[in-house]
């Protein structure tokens, strides 16, 4: 009876196996809770900084560009903060 599990009707091709795995993977991913790293690229960011006693802000950036802008503004004007929207 052990050989009955390996009948041709039970075997699936690699293509079918990969399609099933992908379907299961996407279903599990859509049900899972998003983490910060999953949606970090979708967040709008700007950098707030103080110049001559007045608060200013940069245009909107993605997160990675905002980190660079934050370092530049912090080096140039002292303190700076990243604002996430």
Domain boundaries, given as residue ranges, for the chain: 41-84
* 9-29 pLDDT per residue, tens: 556 677 787 777 777 766 666
Do residues 42 and 60 touch, judged by C-beta distance below 8 A? Answer: no
pLDDT of residue 17: 78
- Is it the case that residue 31 has pLDDT exceeding 80? no
Task: Give the span between the Cα atoms of 1 and 4, in whole angstroms.
Answer: 5
pTM above 0.75, yes or no: no
| Cα angle 26-64-49, degrees, rounded to a multiple of 5 | 140
Per-residue pLDDT, averaged over 57-73, amounts to 91
- Calculate mean pLDDT across residues 21-46: 66
Token pair recorded at residue 15:
């293509």
């Amino acid at each position: 009876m052990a050989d009955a599990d390996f009948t041709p009707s039970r075997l699936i091709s690699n293509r079918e196996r990969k399609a099933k795995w992908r379907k299961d993977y996407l279903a599990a991913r859509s049900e899972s809770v998003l983490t910060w790293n999953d949606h970090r690229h979708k967040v709008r960011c700007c950098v707030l900084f103080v110049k001559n006693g007045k608060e200013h802000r940069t245009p909107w950036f993605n997160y990675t560009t905002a980190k660079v802008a934050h370092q530049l503004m912090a080096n140039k004007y002292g303190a700076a903060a990243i604002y996430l929207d």
